[in-house]
Amino acid sequence: NESSFYFFYSTLFAIITLRGAKKFKATTTPTKTITLPDVIGSTPLLYLPRLSAMFGIRVFGKAEYFNPGGSVKDRAALFMIQSAVRSGELKPGGLVVEGTGGNTGVALSMICASLGYKCYLTMPTNVSLEKQLTMKAFGATIELCDTKFGVSDAGHYTQRAKAVAKERGGVHTDQFYNLANSTSHSSQTAPELVSQLCSLNISDYIFATGAGTGGTISGVAKHLGHLSEKPPVVLVDFEGSGMKAYLKTGQFTKAPGNTEAEGVGISRLTRNFASGFKHIDGSVSVSDIEVAKMCRYLAEEEGVWVGPSASGNVVGAVKAGLREKQERGEGGEEVTVVTILCDSGASYLSKMYNKEWREGVGLGDAGTLGRGDLDLE
Binding footprint of ligand PMP on the chain (CB under 6 A): 72-73, 101-103, 210-216, 262-264, 307, 309, 342-343
CB of 318 to ligand PMP, least distance (A): 17
Residue 135's Cβ-side half-sphere holds a number of Cα atoms within 13 Å equal to 29
Residues 6+ away with beta carbon under 8 Å from 286: 236, 237, 238, 239, 312, 315, 316, 319
CB of 261 to ligand PMP, least distance (A): 7
Pick the closer one to ligand PMP by CB: 74 or 324: 74
CB of 169 to ligand PMP, least distance (A): 26
Pick the closer one to ligand PMP by CB: 170 or 312: 312
Pick the closer one to ligand PMP by CB: 241 or 336: 241
CB of 338 to ligand PMP, least distance (A): 16
Pick the closer one to ligand PMP by CB: 54 or 144: 144
Using DSSP bridges, classify how beta strands 45-47 and 58-63 pair: parallel, antiparallel or unpaired: antiparallel
Residues 6+ away with beta carbon under 8 Å from 189: 41, 62, 64, 72, 75, 216, 219, 220, 340
Contact yes or no for 366/289 (Cβ under 8 A):
yes
Residues 6+ away with beta carbon under 8 Å from 118: 93, 94, 95, 96, 112, 141, 170
Contact yes or no for 313/341 (Cβ under 8 A):
yes
Pick the closer one to ligand PMP by CB: 71 or 336: 71
CB of 165 to ligand PMP, least distance (A): 19
